[in-house]
Amino acid sequence: MDDVLDIAGGICLVLGAVFIMLAGIGAVRFDDTYARMHAAAKAPALGVLLIGVGTALTIRTTPAVIVSLLVVALQLIAGTVGTHIMGRSVYRFIRPPMPGPDELARDEAETEGD
């Protein structure tokens, strides 16, 4: 049973590293600021989750599992909040979004009218 958990943990670790690597490549290769933010936020979240699961499966001690879950939870919270703040700043001060419906501007106009 230990061998199966070690193999599953190793697979999770490798997949997590691949997702984080692809996110880095996407953040460099995409042209639009919003696409870069998407690549820099979504894939690393899954990568950190997989690395945390892989670490917990490989080490298999209670403190390691608790620390691994805590790191994953904090990373998911911090990544989500950070991406939201970065996107809002880019929208307001740097670059308008691509052509199409701008729902955020409509919502902000409705809120300012109150």
Phi first, then psi: give them for residue 2, nearest 5 degrees: -65, -35
Tokens of 16: 């997590």
Tokens of 82: 């950070």
Determine which helix (DSSP H) or strand (DSSP E) holds 5, and give its type and residue range: helix 2-29
Q: Read off the pTM.
A: 0.77
SS3 113: coil
Q: What are the DSSP calls for 67-83, one per residue? A: HHHHHHHHHHHHHHHHH
Cα distance between residue 40 and residue 78, in whole Å: 13
SS3 99: coil
Tens of each residue's pLDDT in the chain, 114 residues: 899 999 999 999 999 999 999 999 998 998 888 888 888 888 889 999 999 999 999 999 999 999 999 999 999 999 889 888 888 888 788 766 666 677 777 777 777 765
Cα distance between residue 37 and residue 17, in whole Å: 19
Pure H helices in 30-93? 33-59, 62-89
Q: Would you list the domain boundaries of the chain?
A: 2-112
